[in-house]
Structure 1
């Protein structure tokens, strides 16, 4: 989950972007927001996907989540201290509605419904970040990786069955960032699973072959079964 969960079409925040936002098209692999810099604009994602992430001093990348249609980038900019605490980079070509940060802050503060929605979105973001921290601390790499794959399928409404395809442009760098490990470690684990017939991957596509086995690895099943 990003700084926002998907809201209804009657969203007060969406109304702000519809009335005051301007359209912005961005290509893949472009920076939308940089950690440590002031947030100048708040973005509503109309189409595409954006990665929330940060990098450690040794260059390892850790991702918080993937922002998808109907979600926001830069909502923390409504705070008095409006410096970004993470980086945001487009995964795919994206279309945004974007509003200047000071205007967005004023409009939200003037509208109780928008203020409540902003709080709800930020709380959801904090809960997701807390869950991620707990999983990194308590789960094995295999479990984290399996849960991430399963969550991506569920979030995009893809049935968990043999042949299910991960519904994003698959890249080991992206999965490594979301699992909090190196790309080489992810590559090694995916190869083990491919050898066991649990998944297959080619280019930028990952396919699930034995979903029940993946559920077991994630810790969601008590009985180990072949899918």
Structure 2
């Protein structure tokens, strides 16, 4: 279901509402089926309190997952901002050297930004690219090989490189960590249980059952919308891209 992440907000909400609405429509229709009606009647005396408990469990699960998702998203933006800031610092330090050292360092900084952008689409699957790591190693090698008179700048470059490497590792870790399949399954099962409870409570009133299931549909679709829009910060319609790092390497 990764394709859902690439839908815009105006399109994603109707799609999720339709998908959850189909399940709700099925639940509404089940008591009308002759061969299922007797089984459905077994839950006729269910207390509305059970419905409230099911709703509370779904809300709690959504709240915990949403908190984790939004925290990861904030950390993703922070990691990219730190990485871009340190890349800009590397470029600034590189321009303090005379030629040809200046050009060598500037080219390496540009190449790192390009390799970071190249690894972006694959972070969630394969992690970081070896090419980006090789450029970082080349920058470390260039900093270590600086002459004694340039030692102060060398130390500053190494500090910036350390910060870039740490920010990149955080970015890669966040890209690989998202709501896993088990968590999605649990959330959807709780939503289904809530729908079943609503169906049992309103089994004798078609109109009340339809209204209650419609409200559950909108609630579940909205919860899924919020989760999907923020779950994977580096992919999707509003994904966080490498533009800040590329701009920093160009001094923009």
The bucket for the TM-score relative to the shorter chain is under 0.3
Q: Which has the higher contact order (CA 8 A, sep 6+)?
A: 2
Structure whose alpha-carbon radius of gyration is higher: 2
TM-score (norm 2): 0.22
Hey, which of these two has a bigger chunk of strand by percent?
1
* Greater helix fraction, Structure 1 or Structure 2: 2
TM-score normalized with structure 1 length: 0.24
